[in-house]
Structure 1
């Protein structure tokens, strides 16, 4: 079954599952999910192109992204600004070239009003280029390459997720000031997102007075973490992991297989997201899982409502990718409602995206002057909770909240920009 056929199949079956009335377009068209109410005679539907890694090394986070997006629009009855909403899901495979091709297809063939996505950090600049070329707005979620809201901005793009180093800075601070670590080894993924998250941590940790014992870079898809673990210096007093995809499980298993749990302490700077926890076990309980702008165990009315609905729909808790896509839906609908559905006016839509404020499951959100959210960052630990829908389940529970974190940390934007991008 080809990618497009898969998405048609998933769309049709999702429609059946939620009892949607109008599924003809999902069965006959591409991966398009139509509104559930009668289409206005005077206005065509709003059409949105969603870029996600449905297949490839990050397909599990990609599934969370797609499911979070679908859940929001099902709750909104596929309506915004008095118009029906349709969306087309395109598979990027977490590959910049594929993301570029799919973004151009969505713009030129599908004629979408705006784009949402992609997920992988190194895909972001490629998709932003399509927005720059065509003028079609891009709501970047959840790609976190720092450059797109700092040194290489696109006037037709706003980001609703997070800038990579934005979640790194608080953890470096926490590592030194609250965990009391002084000589740390970092194990990080060697691509844009992994580099910027890890180097953001390194900056704030070393500025506080910490020392980097070693910084170990691994490519996405590393099969064996034995050599990595063996190269950790003996005098390291802690290890920090910045790991994505299937590598998260491999590092977890290798850590315990080599008996490192009895020798060193490892922290998840960016590691044990909710989507990987079902593949882990109780050995993870009590470990710091992440420094992130979302944690499924966040105790707020908005998050409880979201996680309950997600669990009822998909029989699991959402990772930050699911929440981020859900919030991208909330943010875009809020903007569309504010302009009475006139998304053809691209300037009005982008202005609305930049000025509306939303209360998301992750907390309060607003864009800074560089089109990136100012938001909370949560340091979380893995705990086992009794969920009302799922029963006993592992999840990330915040133990420290950094409120209103800027992508520029505590710097003035102009001072941060003078420093230049993080590079390994």
Structure 2
């Protein structure tokens, strides 16, 4: 069975008992940048205004009535992600990882057939909401999974909540979905954006001995929140973030941003993803900064799905993430072997997250004897899942629906002629609140473009 791809018309792909449905791509109604950013006085709008707008869109759709769903037959799972466009490789990885697990169990759980309905969705919120609505209202799925950008996670939450759709975010990492505004119907099996970088702030200060750092991050929710996680821990230990630079998702040339870097920093933190990551790392090297200033960042900067296209410019880059294809544990060895045999490419963060999301579904549905129609029982079972042998290590959910899990510090090295993210340090059992007092943490303002303040910016 070939990897999934978008088609012009809806098609059913079968191989034995395997059944997956692939939807057609939605036309790009607006650019990624315009969906995620709005100009106000020449500056992107702030998080609260931005999220309020997204919430209004989701809430408006939430009022649409749903058709009655059959109480028998296959368990219907709706999965959406970008299978075409700038983030297509990321979308294919997460979808392939998700479907690989279901192939391994014959697309069955608790004696019931499982059908996965895949929708090719633009990564920005507007396109994603349209596809989620289609899956729920037309395909009558029991549950929703997928999505890429943190902004999309915020945008679709009101619709899922009001319609009581048990849902998994296997990739999307918006902090507040499991913090100040937790959703009863949404479970995140990835991590919060800031959870990914709390350990990096600690490592940069204690192990790399960085003291003055500039940050260069994408100007949208994931960039703000992951940047904040690094900054908060780094500064609480005594370090200083002396400059913050935000780059648009449409950035083609990073030279103007690198030119503006302060000359007296001893390190730079970067947050980029998808095709922007190799572009930034190449520019960093071409600009003569490689080897002169330490470059650290969130793990999407050198994720395996784009690392394979990089060269020596990526060597030595240090990142933090919940996964590396080089992890040496039985779960990852099994997953990597199966994935590489099936798709003829290495695993990545996104394929691992897709696979884990499917495992959560399987374990939960098996625990409730496949009763996907009982929404209350279904979502409760999802929240109780614990996995001890996942490819990324052990994980269990906290009471807000976010995993407590290992985070890894990785360094790009060339091993056997191939670039890899070698794990050089492990932070076990990392919470979305790091080591902070949870009650005090939740009383503080949520992270956004200006929070925490850049109090040491010069």
TM-score of the pair, normalised by structure 1 = 0.90
How far apart, CA to CA, are the structure 2 residues paired with 1:57 and 1:185?
27
Q: Deviation of residue 372 (structure 1)?
A: 0.4
- Whether 1:214 aligns to 2:243 is yes
Q: Is the 8 A contact 2:93 2:348 kept in 1?
A: yes
How far apart, CA to CA, are the structure 1 residues paired with 2:282 and 2:316?
16
- Whether 1:239 aligns to 2:239 is no
* CA spacing shift, 1:223–1:103, aligned 2, 3 Å: same
Which residue matches 1:5? 7
CA RMSD of superposed structures (Å): 1.9
Structure 2: gaps of 5 or more residues: 25-70, 450-458
Which residue matches 2:347? 318
Which residue matches 2:313? 283
Q: Deviations over 1:136-156 (max 9, x none)?
A: 111112110001001122211
Structure 1: gaps of 5 or more residues: 33-41, 387-391
Which residue matches 1:339? 368
Q: Is the 8 A contact 1:220 1:244 kept in 2?
A: no
Which residue matches 1:374? 404
**How many residues are aligned here?**
397
Which residue matches 2:50? none
Which residue matches 1:306? 335
- Whether 1:423 aligns to 2:448 is yes
What secondary structure sits across from 1:342 in the alignment? coil
Would you tell me which structure has more helix in proportion to its own residues? 1
Q: Is the 8 A contact 1:373 1:406 kept in 2?
A: yes
Q: 1:396 aligns with which of 405, 412, 421?
A: 421
Q: Deviation of residue 7 (structure 1)?
A: 8.2
TM-score of the pair, normalised by structure 2 = 0.83
- Whether 1:110 aligns to 2:112 is no
Q: Deviations over 1:46-89 (max 9, x none)?
A: 00000212223322211110111111111111111211110111
Which residue matches 1:39? none
- Whether 1:165 aligns to 2:194 is yes
Write out the 4+ residue segments of structure 1 that deviate beyond 4 Å after TM superposition: 6-9, 29-32
Question: 1:13-412 maps to which residues of 2 (within 5 A)?
Answer: 20-21=15-16, 31=23, 43-270=72-299, 271-288=301-318, 290-359=319-388, 360-386=390-416, 392-412=417-437
Which residue matches 1:389? none
Q: Deviation of residue 91 (structure 1)?
A: 2.2
How far apart, CA to CA, are the structure 1 residues paired with 2:352 and 2:207?
28
Q: Is the 8 A contact 2:386 2:396 kept in 1?
A: yes
Q: Deviation of residue 206 (structure 1)?
A: 0.6
Q: Deviation of residue 30 (structure 1)?
A: 5.0
* CA spacing shift, 1:200–1:252, aligned 2, 3 Å: same
Q: Is the 8 A contact 1:132 1:156 kept in 2?
A: yes
Q: Is the 8 A contact 1:220 1:245 kept in 2?
A: no
